[in-house]
Structure formats: structure tokens, C-alpha cells
Amino acid sequence: MNKSLKSRIIEVTLPEETIQLMDTLGKGSSVRNALIQEAVEFYLPYKQRENLRQSIQEGAIQRAKRDLALAIEWSGLEE
């Protein structure tokens, strides 16, 4: 974790079971903070790729509908 970055305090509510799992790595807020930071840095790129993939897929579906409509419209001109 880069200590030179500005930090903010946020409140996070987690199930007791999750906290107990986190505490197996060590107790204390610094251990929890480091674990949450690492988890976010690990998961965020995955989630961003997933969102991009979904957006591309939705755009492709919209363009396919438009392209099909154009193909049907223009098919009469070739005859």
C-alpha cells in the first residue's frame, strides 16, 4: 500500500463470520485495513473488466438490431 496517498475513513459493515475470517490473519484495525485495501485493489480491475465486457455486449446487441433493420430495409433495393 502506498502510504503517500491521501486516505479517508469510511465505515464498512461486514458479517461477523467475515470479520472472524479476517482475524485469522491477525487482529487489529491495521491488519483489517491492509486486508480490505489489498482485496479492493485485487477485485476492482476484475469488476471493471466485467463492466466493460457487459457494456460492449449490450452495445453489440443494440447495433445488431439496427444492422438487421438496415439490411432488411436495403434488401429491397437490390432486387
Report the pLDDT value the prediction gives residue 46, as an integer from 0 to 100: 95
Distance, CA of 20 to CA of 25 (rounded, Å)? 9
How far lies 39's CA from each of 2, 18, 29, 44, 46, in Å?
A: 15, 13, 15, 8, 11
Report the pLDDT value the prediction gives residue 79, as an integer from 0 to 100: 57
Q: Domain extents for the chain?
A: 26-75
Report the pLDDT value the prediction gives residue 77, as an integer from 0 to 100: 67
pTM of the complete model: 0.60
Report the mean per-residue pLDDT for the chain: 89
